[in-house]
Amino acid sequence: MFILNPNYSSTPAVEALPPSISAQLTKYNPPFLASKLDVHFSSRARLYSSLLRAKNLQTQMEINGFDADDDDEEEMEDGSEFSWPRDGFRGRDDEEKDYDRDPEFADILGTCLDDPDKARSKMEERLRKKRNKILHTKTGSPQPMKVTFNKFEFSNSYIWLEFYNAPLGKDVSLICDTIRSWHIVGRLGGCNSMNMQLSQSPLDKRPTYDAIQGANVTPTTFYNIGDLEIQDNLARIWVDIGTNEPLLLDILLNALTQLSSDYIGIKQVMFGGSEFENWRENLKTEDVGYSVHKI
């Protein structure tokens, strides 16, 4: 709201700007300074007008190539100070995400509004080129692996693995990492079926955990494990689990099932037994495909 007063004469709020900015304003837009307003604004209205004019001034000065001093401040009529933004008044282009690292994707985004069909064809072409980096073909077997038990003892037994093909170097690394991770978790007591509070809690309630109960449960520790021996398409590993903990076996079988499906086909897994089909105890040379891998 404002009141017209013919006897009131004052310079616009822009004249209160710092001398350096006023000089530039006079240089680039003299008619703007020469105009006088005969309108008496309220204190709040004059403050808003000053802010608006200062913003317009900054924008025009940036267009003409002049940067305001970062230390210049404008004192408002109500005693407050107006500081120029250190980065100036940014446009929409400065606020947009920087796609310098992927100019191809930036080009696709630039055409999606003007020509959606063209952008779609570019995206499909991009997916075809980078398909190998985005999608990984499964190299395992769709057939579920067979699981059998042959006089298995938790304290002293072999675990046998039969693959569809002789495992390659990368396959052996995956197998060793899987068994090593299983052993570490078991060694730390992470496979204790006596303390499964969260998995046994109701699904419709917020889970709770009793730390005292968890600390007082009898621990189960994976005692010892041997090296992984491979002979052609067969493998075995000796384990001393120590306690009768079926959860440990379930965890291993779950991991081997996924490993067989995604990476290397496992025909069957057998727990226990001192012999297994074509395994030969006297054939322990590299010439026959025998190798030992540290777990």
Using the CB atoms, write b or e for 112-128: b if 16+ within 10 Å. Answer: eeeeeeebeebeeebee
Structure confidence by residue, pLDDT tens digits, 48-82: 555 556 666 666 655 555 444 444 444 444 455 54
Q: How far apart are alpha carbons 175 and 165 in whole angstroms? A: 14
Is pTM beyond 0.75 here? no
Q: How far apart are alpha carbons 83 and 55 in whole angstroms? A: 11
Residue 36 corresponds to which tokens in the numbers above? 């006088």
Residue 293 phi, psi dihedral angles, 5° rounding: -130, 125
Beta bridge partners of 266: 163
Structure confidence by residue, pLDDT tens digits, 191-242: 999 999 998 888 888 889 999 999 999 888 899 999 999 999 999 999 999 8
Structure confidence by residue, pLDDT tens digits, 142-201: 899 999 999 999 999 999 999 999 999 999 999 999 999 999 999 999 999 999 999 888
115-119, 139-143, 252-256, 274-278: which range is least confident on average? Answer: 115-119
Nearest to 268 by CA among 142, 136, 129, 164: 164
With H, G, I as helix, E, B as strand and everything else as coil, classify residue 290: strand
For residue 288, give the DSSP letter. G
In terms of C-beta distances under 8 Å and separation of at least 24 residues, what long-range contacts does 239-247 make, across chains too? 239/157, 239/158, 239/159, 240/154, 240/155, 240/156, 241/154, 241/155, 241/186, 242/154, 242/155, 243/154, 244/154, 245/154, 245/186, 245/191, 245/192, 245/193, 245/220, 246/193, 247/191, 247/192, 247/193
Strands 266-271 and 146-149: parallel
Residue 20 CB contacts under 8 Å (≥ 6 apart), including other chains: 68, 69, 72
Percent of the chain surpassing pLDDT 90: 40
Q: How confident is the model at residue 254 (pLDDT cuts 50, 70, 90)?
A: very high
